[in-house]
Amino acid sequence: GENVEQHPSTLSVQEGDSAVIKCTYSDSASNYFPWYKQELGKRPQLIIDIRSNVGEKKDQRIAVTLNKTAKHFSLHITETQPEDSAVYFCAASLSGGYNKLIFGAGTRLAVHP
């Protein structure tokens, strides 16, 4: 079946460093790729998304890149801060289903002061 693979599962960085999380999807018809941040015990919150007609999108310290040919997309966080510590999930839309998303397993990011 369709799936999204996310790597790494855990990531530890020093404050101020950059963090990169990568996802690979299997459905070549996927056309929407959101990223969510989830703090412990709380709801996932959308932090950035990208559509298949765009190769890169940036919002302050966060950027997402998409390579449709290779079927992978990445989240880049620059100048990391302790409050960036959370679990990050990528997702990809599924073709043939109304706005259905399939999620990656998540990356636990720890930013150390």
Please return the burial class of 89, using the count of CB atoms within 10 Å of its CB with bins 0-12, 13-18 and 19+.
buried
- Which residues sit opposite 85 in a β-bridge? none
Q: Which stretch in 14-22, 57-65, 68-76, 93-101 sits in contact with other proteins by CB under 8 A?
A: 93-101
List the one residue from 28, 59, 97, 112 that touches other proteins (CB under 8 A). 97
Check if the beta carbon of residue 113 is closer than 8 Å to that of residue 99.
Answer: no
Interaction residues for other proteins, span 15-74 (CB under 8 A): 30-32, 34, 36, 41-46, 49, 51
Residue 103 beta carbon to other proteins: minimum distance, rounded to whole angstroms = 4
Compute how many residues bind other proteins; rule: CB under 8 A. Answer: 28
**DSSP annotation of 84:** G
What is the spatial distance between Cα 17 and Cα 111, in angstroms, rounded to a whole number?
9
The contact set with other proteins (CB under 8 A) reads 6, 30-32, 34, 36, 41-46, 49, 51, 89, 93-95, 97-106
